[in-house]
Structure 1
């Protein structure tokens, strides 16, 4: 990074911001200038910003059986870009204004997979698409007992139809390698668990 570039409160100047659409999500148009690496402010640029609640994703992991619990559901975003728009994913949900990420992880595990989570291990926080969205994802591994897990879950009033799978961790990692698991949160969490499995099991078994 150039030594002349100093990020501070004045590094970005928002000139105008307006709401273009408000539904379940919101779309804003933002006109701004930001400081450039060479020094000085750059030209005015216009960007559409997808505004949404921050999200929580949690990978339920059974350290005794070395198994993970994954959910399968239809995703409209994959409808025209994947041969199968029913994706294998982590348990996930959006954060309401009065909730903590850990609360969301536990609530969604119950609603989407019928699971009671034990300890939660924070993996990271990341922006999945910061070029056009302000969403921040809180990513966890959650300790669980996978015995008896399965079936179809979800809230009928939200149109959820979620099938639960219990897989050996090695099978899930192979599914990542084969491209069967093809969404960011699941890939990140599974690869993190592959790297840290010994430490996690050492503390949780």
Structure 2
């Protein structure tokens, strides 16, 4: 084996190096001085520990340490049929929620995925096709959100798009090579919205898009 640290000065399993450099050149906030960045893991995504000085409001400097998990940025889309008042969601197993108290780990979600090397709109078209089997048309950008800013760097781009039966090109279900086994679920919008209150829909991005759809999106002002 070559000498060195994978992901730092020799390639990790994904061929990356220099992963300990992230954040060292930040200069947008003069109250933050990054002192050290340590790569803890790059098995697939990237876990770093950063030590920095932070200028408090009382004028004193405080040494702080944070671990950040970098899995890249992502995108999600709410697929809706305004005429039929339905939405198209997915159901898949999520081990992290299963180990943290969810009864079976199966979450109802809007289609979503990481950007990889694509722009957000290209990525969400790809993910919608892979997961639901629908080739979506015009998409509407809704907002961008940091989903867990205390520890995860991910910024998620939210979209909405109409779907119709004639746009379905495959069965969907995700990529078997990636271990995906995704069920496509069509629900009346009113039922999906009610499932937030019952706890049957407990995924943050899905809750946000459903509530947006009810407040200012395609179902705003409708009797439900």
Instruction: Give the 5 Å matches for 1:105-144.
Output: 105-144=124-163
Q: Which string of whole-angstrom CA distances, capped at 9 and with x for unpartnered residues, describes residues 137-163 of structure 1?
A: 101111211579695611111011000
The answer to whether the 8 A contact 2:213-2:219 is kept is no
Pairing partner for 2:216 from 196, 199, 202: 196
The answer to whether the 8 A contact 1:69-1:146 is kept is no
Partner of 1:9: 29
The answer to whether the 8 A contact 1:175-1:181 is kept is yes
- Secondary structure at the residue paired with 1:44? strand
Give distance in 1, aligned partners of 2:220 and 2:159: 12
Give distance in 2, aligned partners of 1:61 and 1:199: 9
Partner of 1:179: 199
Pairing partner for 1:61 from 66, 72, 80: 80
RMSD: 2.2
Give distance in 1, aligned partners of 2:119 and 2:172: 26
The answer to whether the 8 A contact 1:151-1:163 is kept is no
Unaligned runs of 5+ in 2: 1-26
Q: 1:114 to 1:32 in 2, by over 3 A?
A: same
The reply to whether residue 34 of structure 1 matches residue 54 of structure 2 is yes
Shift of 1:178: 0.7
Q: Which has the higher contact order (CA 8 A, sep 6+)?
A: 1
The answer to whether the 8 A contact 1:62-1:146 is kept is no
Partner of 1:91: 111
The answer to whether the 8 A contact 2:214-2:220 is kept is no
Give distance in 2, aligned partners of 1:84 and 1:102: 32
TM score, norm. by length of structure 1? 0.87
The answer to whether the 8 A contact 2:130-2:172 is kept is no
Q: Tell which deviates more after alignment, 72-81 or 40-49.
A: 40-49
TM score, norm. by length of structure 2? 0.80
Equivalenced residues, count: 193
Give distance in 1, aligned partners of 2:45 and 2:162: 31
The answer to whether the 8 A contact 2:132-2:173 is kept is yes
The answer to whether the 8 A contact 1:67-1:146 is kept is no
